[in-house]
Amino acid sequence: MQKFDEISLLGTRFHKIKVNELIEYAVQAAKLKKKTIIGHVNTRAMNFAYELPWYKDFLNKSDLVFCDGFGVLLGAKLCGGCVDSSHRMTCPDYIEDFARACDRENVSLFLLAGEPGTVDQAIAKLKVIAPNLRVKGHHGYFDKSGEENEFVIQQINQFKPDILYIGFGMPLQERWILNNSEKIETKVFLPLGACLDFYSGTVSRGPRWMTSSGLEWLTRLATQPKRLWKRYVLGNPLFFYRVLQQQLMKLFRKRSRTSSQY
């Protein structure tokens, strides 16, 4: 498997990877006789990693971590990282290319996400552009422990997908992977949050010029203010405060070392 350069930010790492490379990596990993975990970061993920040791450990031990947020790219640039907009990708923009690649390479896909009905809508759309895609799914609104959880895992294992897409939102989806990965028969775990909600049209993304310029969060905040205001109004400034604090500490230590030499 191809290796990619790493960027470390607030003690959490992600890879410099572009969307075509991500798709190729996932499809090839699905053909290996091992389990592969692919993670992703945005400012919310970085805040979780800063506060939750297990979450940071999940990301730092994942086989590949891609960037899904302009805020993280900006934070990396402030810390001297050589990244640009091509190193950021969001699932609704590439899910059809991903489905075509799975279709072409005979890689099966299981979608585990969304409210009842959302997965069915997404599968119907994907089958239009990838008619031979082997795909099944189940909604994400189930008890993540106990009998209901075991039933869902049984459904997955009966299908034995090459790639399992999990969309419960952070950090629930990552915790679920950690708790259940050993008993799930799949090759690739791919947590992608609310991708299917956007793809199926259940949740509005806003105009293309906003999604392409790092302003998609404004649309989400406007459409779901009660649910998302803490994530964006508090979370985004908190992330950049932590990045700047880290840089100031590095500068202070550097000056202290320089002063001690005289």
Q: What is this structure's pTM?
A: 0.90
Is the distance from CB of 161 to CB of 108 less than 8 angstroms? yes
pLDDT tens digit string along 175-207?
999 999 999 999 999 998 888 988 887 776 666
Is the distance from CB of 68 to CB of 88 less than 8 angstroms? yes
pLDDT (tens place) for every residue of the chain, 262 residues total: 788 999 999 999 999 999 999 999 999 999 999 999 999 999 999 999 999 999 999 999 999 999 998 899 999 999 888 899 889 888 888 999 999 999 999 999 999 999 999 999 999 999 999 999 999 999 999 999 999 999 999 999 999 999 999 999 999 999 999 999 999 999 999 998 888 988 887 776 666 656 666 666 666 666 777 777 787 788 999 999 999 999 998 888 777 776 666 5
Q: What is the pLDDT of residue 151?
A: 97
Q: Which two tokens stand for residue 45?
A: 């993920």
Cα maximum dimension of the chain: 71
If you search the block for the tokens 């809508």, which residue do you land on? 121
If you search the block for the tokens 């999990």, which residue do you land on? 166
CA dist 133 and 99 (Å) reads 7
CA dist 116 and 139 (Å) reads 5
Q: What is the pLDDT of residue 209?
A: 53
Phi, psi (rounded to 5 degrees) for 189: -100, 125
**Virtual torsion, Cα 147, 150, 156, 162, nearest 10 deg:** 160
At residue 85's C-alpha, the angle toward residues 163 and 61, to 5°, is 45
* SS3 labels along 8-75: EECCEEEECCCHHHHHHHHHHHCCCCCCEEEEEECHHHHHHHHHCHHHHHHHHHCCEEEECCHHHHHH
Amino acid residing at 121: Q
